[in-house]
Amino acid sequence: MNANTALMALGAANLDITDINIVNGLRQARLAGRMQVLAGSPTTILDVAHNPHSAEYLVAQLGRLYPETRFKVVIGMLHDKDIEETIRVLNPLTEHWYPASLSGPRAASADELCSHLESNETLTRYDSPVTAFDAAKADANPEDLILVVGSFHTVGEVLAHCGGTRS
């Protein structure tokens, strides 16, 4: 979606860039943590969606790629984001929530996340995205799908834990 904006900026910049350079650049452009699939089993998707708008985009993309699939969702968010609405948007994807506390002054706790989840009484709270992710993996069968979402912090911790491997 941002490619159009980038192409308009290149056109306005009056730079000496060939069409081949542009095509190659667009093919190779990646944002770590945006619909990033980790190597291994079960399939794990990382996405930095952290507000209702980005969550809507994520739900649409996952619906297209994995129709009628429900995910084990590892979520960690910052408390200054719209947690309630973001969770509401993500809820149709969810088979089971794995709420994780983040660290830092803007971090939401797992308890804060659970206050917005329907089954909050029975959910295990995790002290970090890594412990939540490890629990989701332990609970998963090889054919299951895990989604890690909610923040650059959440995705970054899990990505570092996994060694940054892509499929």
Domain ranges of the chain: 1-30, 31-162
Does the pLDDT at position 49 exceed 60? yes
Local confidence band at 47 (pLDDT 50, 70, 90 cut-offs):
very high
Q: Let me know if 112 is exposed, middle or buried by CB neighbors in 10 A (0-12, 13-18, 19+).
A: middle
Q: How high does pLDDT run on average in the chain?
A: 88
Q: Indicate the pairing of strand 145-149 with strand 94-99.
A: unpaired
Does the pLDDT at position 45 exceed 90? yes
Does the pLDDT at position 122 exceed 90? no
Percent of the chain whose predicted confidence (pLDDT) is above 90:
64
In whole angstroms, give the CA distance from residue 109 to residue 160. 21
Tens digits of residue pLDDT in 68-119? 889 999 999 999 999 999 999 999 999 899 999 999 999 999 999 999 997 7
- Residue linked to tokens 């709420």: 99
List CB contacts of 119: < 8 A, sequence separation 6 or more: 97
- Ranking 2-11, 118-127, 134-143, 152-161 by mean pLDDT, the lowest is 2-11
- Looking at residue 53, its pLDDT comes to 95
- Looking at residue 28, its pLDDT comes to 62
The structural architecture, per CATH, of the domain 31-162 is Alpha-Beta Complex (3.90)
